[in-house]
Structure 1
Amino acid sequence: MFLVFVLLISPKIERTTLQIIKPKLSILVDNSKSISHFKEAENIQNFIYKLKNDVSLSEKFEIENFTFSADLKISDTLDFLGSETNIYKAISGIHKLNGEQKVPILLLTDGNQTVGNAYEFLKSKQPIYPVVFGDTTKYADVKVSQINVNTYSYLKNKFPVEVFLNYQGIGTVKSIFSIYNGEKTVFSKEIQFSRKEPSQILTVDLEASKIGVNYFTASLEKIRNEKNITNNTRNFSVEVIDEQAKVLLLSAVLHPDIGLLKKAIESNVQRSVKVSKVTEFKGNLSEFQLVILYQPNVLFTDVFTKIKKAQCNLFIVTGTNTDWALLNKQQFGFTKNFLRETEYYGVSYQSSFSTFLQKDIGFGDFPPLKDAFGALDFSTEHQDLLVQEIKGLVTLQPVLSVLEKEKQKIAVIFGAGIWRWRAISFLRSGTFQDFDQFIGNIVQYLGTKKPRAQLEVNTERLYASNAVLNIVAFFTDTNYKFDDRASLEITVTNIKTKETTTRPFSVKNNSYQSAIEGLLPGEYRFKVAVLGQKNTAYGNFKIVDDQIEEQFTHANVTKLTQLALGAGGALYYKNEIDLLIKSLMENNEFDTIQKPIVKTQELIDWQWVLLVLISLFTTEWFLRKYFGQI
């Protein structure tokens, strides 16, 4: 009975053990072609070998291995074939993996970044220790640093090309700068550089004389004793068109959004925007491919009558000046149960949107829009690219919707203040391109009466040699819903050699994607086909012999030093491995942590006790049975 009593009580005890947690050490290695260009591949591998085989370092740290070029990889395999370098993205990726932990990062690189945000200004809670690989000697060098040019030009017009030229050296030098269209020289000028004037900015006006995509090469002649001439040349392209889409923007109020919409739309010279007060417009709506109604109010009454007759495509932007009572009567497929109050709301991107291809450009970080308070109702099928996010809560109420009503296409932004979006987009990326492309995608969808194609393909016009060609296709069913059941393939043909390459597509993020590598420089045409169907799309692109990873003459010690200072680390050179290891070992911030683990255990293992009791009772029963007591 005593055992039964103890079993029922089930006494417990607590046992404390110490778990030893070693601090992490992230080794982040540049796996791009620039490392092999500087002939540092063997040096960087030897450096890593010494780090991994240092007993004291292995005892103190849990070592994690990463490589990067365009993207971050959890790996220690190196081939130094990466065609792009994004140091900012690699460090940010490690930050996300480590969270709030204080993890030192050893960055083994030449410091030359070809894509991404400026890494030297990156704010890091984790100390970064750059280790410099590459030539630190600066040689005399001239280069074409950057070319700014519009994507499109109108036939027989002049289009500006802005060229940034740079010189690194001591004395005064001269070079000839030229622009070629194929074999033809379309511009040439002698340029003089000196230590006091190391930069030149040229603006060249070229004539758009041939319809279609025109390819150009900008080049600086080699100067005396110049070691690297790869960066003396850059390629660019311009598509020449012979017609423009006309867009009409009507408003009864003054607002920064109006100027923003005009700039964003006209950033593509295929489009022109006429802005007019609604009370002053006397023209014919049929002259325009698209009409934008900005915060329509009672003054739009006559225009609404014309719109019903013309059945023109509409882009509507609402706001606090919108007359919702009037707008609700227009039968555009949506109404709002509005109140006389206003509200601000942020936005959330909807990856399921499939009316046209639009990537997330950071919509969730954009400032809130302002509109009348109330819930929206739709009487026509619609798709939402953006929905409301209020105090971190994502709702089903749309911010940007598109709908088709008979022969009319309509897009609506429910809220004013998108001018701030363009400003934030520029501050974050240094360019208006992403935002202007977003507005351009809406205008392109609305600007045609033609039936929408089920298959759309996005490619660049120019690719650098040895770069990965990421081709994105978008395929829908007959109801224009994204169809992930199809099989797509792309066939690429070299126009000169007729050699073909065929690759399949895979479904990723509501699109079909294919990566093509190994194509030689030259002009190519492509065909994307949906297997078993008649849907096809065609296009052209050019691969140019631009080895961007080989355009650097020395390691960028200045930026790496700035990164180290800002991140609380220190800069080291490839021959200072002993100093680096000593610094890590002596740094008390990276000590081992002893974490107590408390475990509650049963004082008596009741399962064994129960087994013993059953055994005893069973034995007693058999004995009694045997001796006849039962």
Structure 2
Amino acid sequence: MESLTLIYVVVALLVSLAVAFFQYFYKERKQPKITIALFALRALSLFFIGILLINPQFNVVSTENIKPIVSLLIDDSKSTSIFNEEKNVENIVEAIKANEKLNEKFEVIPFSFGESLKPLDSLTFEKGNTDINEAIATVNKLYPKHKLATILVTDGNQTTGNDYEYYSTKNKIYPVVLGDTTKYQDIQLTQLNVNKYSYIKNKFPVEALIHYEGDESVSSVFTITHKGRRVFTKKLEFSPNQTSQTVSTTLTSNEKGVQYYQASISRLSGEKNTKNNYKSFSVEVIDEQTKVLLLSSILHPDLGALKKSIESNKQRKVDIKIMNKDTFVLDDYQMYVFYQPNFHFRRVFEQISTDYLLISGTKTDWRFLSTLGLGVNRTVINQQEVSTASYNDQFLTFLQENIGFEEFPPLEDTFGKIELTRSNQVLLSQNIGGVDSGQPLLATLEEGENNTMILFGEGIWKWRAASFMKDKTFESFDAFTGNIVQYLATNKKRSRLEVKAKSIYPANESITFSAFYVDKNYRFDNRASLELRITNKETKKVVNLPFSLMNNSYQVSVEGLEPGSYSYQVSVKNQTIKKFGRFNITEFEIEDQFVNANEAKLKKLALNTKGKLFYKNEIESLISELNSDTEYFTIQKSTTSKKNLIEWYWILMLIVFLLSLEWFIRKYYGRI
């Protein structure tokens, strides 16, 4: 207790005695014995009131021993069982848990990992992917202030995520190598590059990357087959100095619809793993192309970005034309993009009333546009404003997920209030200065069969660049513009049921179907019951699964399907609406592609982190290394905290009791 607090306590005692004395003894001639009792009760009551106000405290020192941590990371992927290392892994875990000296020095925390890190409960060795980098990074985030050592039990073969080879951390990592470290002769088809779409009777490119590991010169044959028939073949030569080759060819699209192909490289003599010699791919062949007219009043970077984005889907062709400079025929196109239109567009708007995207900006003539009855009016002043996007998850016109619109750079436009006079749905609204203004940034306008969209702002090329920086690919942004084109490029009656699914799935990939169902007014219907029916074309086995409602779409995940060809049907209960399609599941298992452990990468990881590499039969040496490492020691942490001398509620109860007792005594003796 501090000396000043002690002084306050003494003062409180003296004051309470003085006040009680004044009340019961001062100028009192007769002083019966009961007065002494009342004096004592009053003095104690006043003293405890003072104690309650002073709240005296004293320091409490507590000590805590903090051990360094050993994180035990166990590879729970399929490759561990492929190498028949299950028993060795169990022995390693048991040896580390059973070592008393290690557990006395360290706090051992076991984890398992495949694509993500989880606390070790049980090992199944069924994970379809391995992300070693993510496992290490997650452990380091969990214990940022602890002295940490990591035992990494794995074959070193990573199938997803960032490369762990050059991972840098202040914490030591001790890899324990599982699997066969012997080098075998192997040839593998590492990558296929193919366009997703082609046109009937057109040629589409196929590029294959083939890699060889071995000490001899060998030859092999690369083949592409379609419906069991060879459509391309080429003989290849490999040697220790020529370990990789790229094969490029073009194939002809002769049949409409989704066409399945298989690429393969012939087996080498004595090759141990042949599962990486095959890859399947598919191409959707179409017999028509959507032509889009991008008509602008000015030159702007947005034009090139829109053209590249829309043409990322090979079903679409974009022509850029400058108003009053280039010639064009409107009837040659199925969809239109009018970029920053002005009064020179009058003839175009007189002929076109639907199926267009209008993009405004600082050069747009809104005084002219407001006179055309397009469903939007805007009074502008000679001032510019910028706004970012706010995503509306209640948008129902078509299925569009949030691709990170809020993180995209702001768009620039003239300042003015926007009034939409047609039936509309707002996909993106304007966010100005961090506040949602309620003004539309991207909206659809509908009137009967007439569908239009308006984007209020220029600079969409920055969105495409920002999307690439975020995802390292243009796919999400191009899918966004693709949805707009798909919505506007047809004046046919829209389907009430839309289904999204891939045409080909690797055996280890999650199979997910998503569906978007609307009522007769084309509004999303969350009351519907959708069912997926999948039929194996060879065995005729049927799987029926219900869709689950998730946000503004229906989704279902399918598991346990064997490789093969399948057809599917999506139906709506109590409705005649159905959608049909087909897909293939290949035998490709990414965890099957490795014939030996990646000892070299694990050794570099240990070197970068100042750790040391061990083999599965050297666990005792690893434990001895950790036990003798003087960098790891227990830290004693002292914590000083203040504690009340007496808890306030006890003091309050005592004060109430003393005052009550005093009152009853005075009442009894008639002194009130």
Secondary structure of the 2:128 match is coil
Which of 226-235 and 287-296 deviates more? 287-296
Q: State the shift of 1:552 in Å.
A: 1.3
Show the counterpart of 1:494.
536
Q: State the shift of 1:459 in Å.
A: 1.2
Q: State the shift of 1:541 in Å.
A: 0.7
Secondary structure of the 1:39 match is coil
Given the alignment of the two structures, is residue 12 of structure 1 paired with residue 53 of structure 2, yes or no? no
Show the counterpart of 2:24.
none
1:116-131, aligned counterparts within 5 Å? 116-120=161-165, 130-131=175-176
Contact 1:16 1:599 in 2 (8 A): yes
Q: State the shift of 1:230 in Å.
A: 0.6
User: What is the distance in 2 between the residues matched to 1:516 and 1:225?
Assistant: 37
Q: State the shift of 1:591 in Å.
A: 5.6
Show the counterpart of 2:292.
247
Question: CA 1:568–1:593 in structure 2 vs 1: closer, same or farther (change >3 Å)?
Answer: farther
Show the counterpart of 1:541.
583
Contact 2:49 2:655 in 1 (8 A): no
Q: State the shift of 1:56 in Å.
A: 5.0
Question: CA 1:533–1:606 in structure 2 vs 1: closer, same or farther (change >3 Å)?
Answer: same
User: What is the distance in 1 between the residues matched to 2:656 and 2:520?
Assistant: 72
Contact 1:145 1:166 in 2 (8 A): yes
Question: CA 1:620–1:255 in structure 2 vs 1: closer, same or farther (change >3 Å)?
Answer: closer
Secondary structure of the 1:43 match is helix
Given the alignment of the two structures, is residue 226 of structure 1 paired with residue 271 of structure 2, yes or no? yes
Secondary structure of the 1:51 match is helix
User: What is the distance in 2 between the residues matched to 1:563 and 1:394?
Assistant: 48
Q: State the shift of 1:128 in Å.
A: 5.5
Secondary structure of the 1:36 match is helix
Contact 1:466 1:519 in 2 (8 A): no
Given the alignment of the two structures, is residue 521 of structure 1 paired with residue 566 of structure 2, yes or no? no
Contact 2:367 2:379 in 1 (8 A): no
Show the counterpart of 1:505.
547
Q: State the shift of 1:268 in Å.
A: 1.9
Question: CA 1:138–1:440 in structure 2 vs 1: closer, same or farther (change >3 Å)?
Answer: farther
Secondary structure of the 2:595 match is coil
The residue type equivalent to 2:355 in the other structure is: N
User: What is the distance in 2 between the residues matched to 1:153 and 1:127?
Assistant: 52
Show the counterpart of 1:115.
160
Deviation by residue 1:355-412 (Cα, 9 ceiling, x = unmatched): 3333444445544444445554444454444455667666655543334344222333
Share of identical aligned residues, percent? 44
Q: State the shift of 1:70 in Å.
A: 3.6
Question: CA 1:605–1:61 in structure 2 vs 1: closer, same or farther (change >3 Å)?
Answer: same
1:428-577, aligned counterparts within 5 Å? 429-465=471-507, 467-560=509-602, 572-577=614-619
Q: State the shift of 1:48 in Å.
A: 2.9
Contact 2:532 2:569 in 1 (8 A): yes
User: What is the distance in 2 between the residues matched to 1:89 and 1:142?
Assistant: 29
Which of 210-219 and 270-279 deviates more? 270-279
Unaligned runs of 5+ in 1: none
Contact 2:44 2:658 in 1 (8 A): no
1:418-437, aligned counterparts within 5 Å? 418-426=460-468, 429-437=471-479
Show the counterpart of 1:260.
305
User: What is the distance in 2 between the residues matched to 1:614 and 1:26?
Assistant: 56
User: What is the distance in 1 between the residues matched to 2:371 and 2:164?
Assistant: 53
Question: CA 1:606–1:191 in structure 2 vs 1: closer, same or farther (change >3 Å)?
Answer: closer
Q: State the shift of 1:231 in Å.
A: 0.3
User: What is the distance in 1 between the residues matched to 2:461 and 2:487?
Assistant: 21
The residue type equivalent to 2:560 in the other structure is: G
Deviation by residue 1:135-179 (Cα, 9 ceiling, x = unmatched): 333221111111111111111111111111111122211001100
Equivalent residue in structure 1 for 2:214, among 169, 173, 176 = 169
Show the counterpart of 2:320.
275
Which of 177-186 and 359-368 deviates more? 359-368
Contact 2:260 2:282 in 1 (8 A): yes
Q: State the shift of 1:49 in Å.
A: 3.0
Q: State the shift of 1:212 in Å.
A: 1.2
Q: State the shift of 1:35 in Å.
A: 1.6
How many residues were matched structurally?
626
Which of 176-185 and 530-539 deviates more? 530-539
Given the alignment of the two structures, is residue 190 of structure 1 paired with residue 231 of structure 2, yes or no? no
Equivalent residue in structure 2 for 1:314, among 332, 345, 356 = 356
Q: State the shift of 1:446 in Å.
A: 1.9
User: What is the distance in 1 between the residues matched to 2:614 and 2:520?
Assistant: 60
The residue type equivalent to 1:201 in the other structure is: T
User: What is the distance in 2 between the residues matched to 1:589 and 1:318?
Assistant: 64
The residue type equivalent to 1:355 in the other structure is: T
User: What is the distance in 2 between the residues matched to 1:23 and 1:396?
Assistant: 54
Unaligned runs of 5+ in 2: 1-41
User: What is the distance in 2 between the residues matched to 1:17 and 1:314?
Assistant: 74
The structure that has the greater radius of gyration is 2
Equivalent residue in structure 1 for 2:94, among 16, 27, 49 = 49
User: What is the distance in 2 between the residues matched to 1:393 and 1:570?
Assistant: 54
Show the counterpart of 1:3.
44
Q: State the shift of 1:624 in Å.
A: 8.6
